[in-house]
């Protein structure tokens, strides 16, 4: 039996990892996967030596608070892989953690594949030289990433995004509403404040207050909030209580993010993979994001692009509104979201752009990624 070391650091990486493991095992049932895995990867048989939540931290200063534990976890993983060398290592996203681990494993003669490029096209482009020394191969999700690695001499494969394969080209809003037992005549707004506890710390109050502003203006509205864990559910429920919002017409869903987005008339979403999910489900959205002010001061000096949301980056222009940091207020978010809901022409244009993005990313990702990995196991 061959062993693949594998580390995913958050929910989106867990999803990618589960698809990859499933596809690889179709070709090589003798493979076993050991490292750090979330629930989806574990369902596909991956063995997780540590809880994935230990890596799900975002922001420079937020990471600093958790740094001793993160470094200790990486040392423990390195010790495990030194004592039990895998035939191949795959790091899924989490670049600050995985690339350091990959560099040390590569020095020990272990082939390393990194799945999901860091955003070198958006900021810290010089990282490509360090990446070159850490990995044997890069798997990228987006077409604009391919030439950056080719120019740097890094072996790379564009695989597309598995969500583009799994999500329907034509979403079924009415079917999603029936499945969630939602009334057909209400304005439905999905709110996705982030999957990490650190994101909820900054975003949950903002989203709840935005919902309150919308409800004050429109009585016939209902909100959907998908969460991924008991801890994030408890955090969001506490925010509702703290803001006196217990009576908001709102359902907290455990999982079912795709269904919530598909059922919605519009989506309020934190920047990240969820923006891509909303785009692939052809839902108009407003992107909002807040991080600590110290982290923001550092990040904004390093960003090359004028926008942060994946739909805008993939389109090459701003097609959906982005409200960041001090611009992300409940009043502005509510106003922008309601303007978008009522502008049918803008909604139709956004949906046309999203269909083009969907076609671009639909690449049979599972199989492409698996084939790239299998070459290193021959």
What confidence score (pLDDT) does residue 66 get? 54
**pLDDT, tens digit, for every residue of 20-35?**
999 999 999 999 999 9
Q: Is residue 167 part of a domain?
A: no
Give the mean pLDDT of 336-344. Answer: 94
From the CB of residue 236, how many other CB atoms can be counted at a distance below 10 Å? 20
Q: Residue 99 to residues 94, 104, 136: CA-CA distances in angstroms? A: 8, 9, 11
Q: Is residue 165 part of a domain?
A: no
Q: Is residue 166 part of a domain?
A: no
What confidence score (pLDDT) does residue 73 get? 85
Whether the pLDDT of residue 354 is over 90: the answer is: yes
pLDDT over 70, % of the chain? 89
Give the mean pLDDT of 98-104. Answer: 94
Whether the pLDDT of residue 302 is over 60: the answer is: no
**Alpha-carbon gap, residue 21 to 13, rounded angstroms:** 12
Whether residues 196 and 73 share a domain: the answer is no
Q: Could you tell me the maximum CA-CA distance found in the chain, to the nearest angstrom?
A: 63
Whether residues 190 and 299 share a domain: the answer is yes
Q: Is residue 168 part of a domain?
A: no
HEC secondary structure over 297-343: HHHCCCECCCCCCHHHHHHCCCCCCEEEHHHCCHHHHHHHHHHHHHC
What confidence score (pLDDT) does residue 303 get? 60
Name the band, by pLDDT with cuts 50, 70 and 90, for residue 296.
low
What residues have CB less than 8 Å from 13, skipping those under 6 apart?
Answer: 38, 92, 93, 94, 116
Whether residues 151 and 182 share a domain: the answer is no
Name the band, by pLDDT with cuts 50, 70 and 90, for residue 61.
very low
Q: Is residue 228 part of a domain?
A: yes
Domain count, the chain: 2
Going by C-alpha positions, the residue among 169, 166, 136 that lies closest to residue 154 is: 136
Whether residues 278 and 192 share a domain: the answer is yes
Whether residues 332 and 373 share a domain: the answer is no
**Alpha-carbon gap, residue 129 to 152, rounded angstroms:** 7
**Arithmetic mean of pLDDT over the chain:** 88
pLDDT over 90, % of the chain? 64
Whether residues 304 and 324 share a domain: the answer is yes
Burial 52-66 (b: 16+ CB within 10 A, else e): bbebbbbbeebbeee
Give the mean pLDDT of 207-230. Answer: 92
Ramachandran assignment for 282, one of left (phi > 0), alpha (psi -120 to 50 degrees), beta (any other): left
Domain holding 258: CATH number?
3.40.50.2000
From the CB of residue 183, how many other CB atoms can be counted at a distance below 10 Å? 9
**pTM of the full predicted structure?**
0.80
Strongest mean pLDDT among 47-61, 156-170, 191-205, 290-304: 156-170
Whether residues 33 and 69 share a domain: the answer is yes
**Alpha-carbon gap, residue 48 to 91, rounded angstroms:** 14
**DSSP string of 24-42, one letter each residue:** HHHH-TTEEEEEE--HHHH
**Enclosing domain of residue 147:** 2-160+363-377
Whether residues 292 and 373 share a domain: the answer is no
Whether residues 313 and 180 share a domain: the answer is yes
From the CB of residue 235, how many other CB atoms can be counted at a distance below 10 Å? 16
Whether residues 177 and 290 share a domain: the answer is yes
Name the band, by pLDDT with cuts 50, 70 and 90, for residue 293.
low
Whether residues 297 and 369 share a domain: the answer is no
Whether the pLDDT of residue 332 is over 80: the answer is: yes
Give the mean pLDDT of 259-278. Answer: 92
Q: Is residue 338 part of a domain?
A: yes
Strongest mean pLDDT among 71-85, 191-205, 238-252, 351-365: 351-365
Whether residues 99 and 196 share a domain: the answer is no
Q: Is residue 94 part of a domain?
A: yes
Whether the pLDDT of residue 286 is over 80: the answer is: yes
């Amino acid at each position: 039996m061959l062993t693949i070391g594998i580390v995913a650091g958050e929910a989106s990486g867990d999803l990618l990892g589960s698809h990859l493991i499933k596809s690889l095992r179709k070709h090589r049932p003798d493979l076993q996967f050991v490292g750090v895995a979330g629930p989806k990867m574990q369902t596909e048989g991956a063995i997780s030596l540590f809880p994935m939540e230990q890596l799900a931290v975002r922001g420079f200063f937020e990471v600093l608070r958790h740094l001793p534990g993160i470094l200790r976890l990486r040392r423990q993983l390195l010790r495990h892989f030194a004592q039990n060398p895998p035939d191949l290592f795959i790091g899924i996203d989490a670049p600050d953690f995985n690339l350091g681990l990959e560099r040390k494993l590569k020095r020990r003669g272990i082939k390393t594949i990194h799945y999901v490029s860091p955003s070198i096209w958006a900021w810290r482009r010089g990282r490509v030289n360090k990446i070159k020394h850490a990995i044997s191969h890069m798997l990228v999700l987006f077409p604009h990433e391919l030439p950056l690695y080719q120019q740097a001499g890094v072996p790379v494969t564009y695989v597309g995004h598995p969500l583009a394969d799994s999500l329907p080209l034509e979403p079924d809003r009415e079917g999603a509403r029936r499945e969630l037992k939602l009334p057909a005549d209400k304005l439905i707004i999905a709110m996705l404040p982030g999957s990490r506890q650190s994101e909820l710390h900054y975003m949950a109050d903002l989203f709840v207050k935005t919902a309150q502003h919308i409800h004050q203006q429109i009585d016939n509205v209902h909100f959907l909030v998908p969460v991924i864990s008991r801890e994030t559910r408890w955090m969001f429920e506490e925010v509702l209580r703290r803001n006196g919002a217990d009576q908001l017409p709102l359902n907290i869903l455990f999982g079912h993010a795709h269904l919530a987005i598909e059922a919605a008339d519009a989506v309020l979403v934190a920047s990240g993979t969820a923006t891509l999910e909303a785009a692939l489900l052809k839902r108009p959205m407003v992107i909002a994001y807040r991080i600590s002010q110290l982290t923001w001061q550092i990040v904004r000096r390093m960003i090359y692009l004028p926008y942060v949301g994946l739909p805008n980056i993939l389109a090459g222009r701003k097609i959906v509104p982005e409200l960041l940091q001090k611009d992300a207020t409940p009043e502005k978010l509510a106003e922008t979201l309601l303007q978008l809901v009522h502008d049918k022409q803008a909604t139709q244009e956004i949906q046309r752009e999203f269909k083009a993005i969907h076609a671009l990313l639909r690449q049979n990702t599972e199989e492409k990624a698996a084939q790239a990995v299998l070459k290193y196991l021959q």
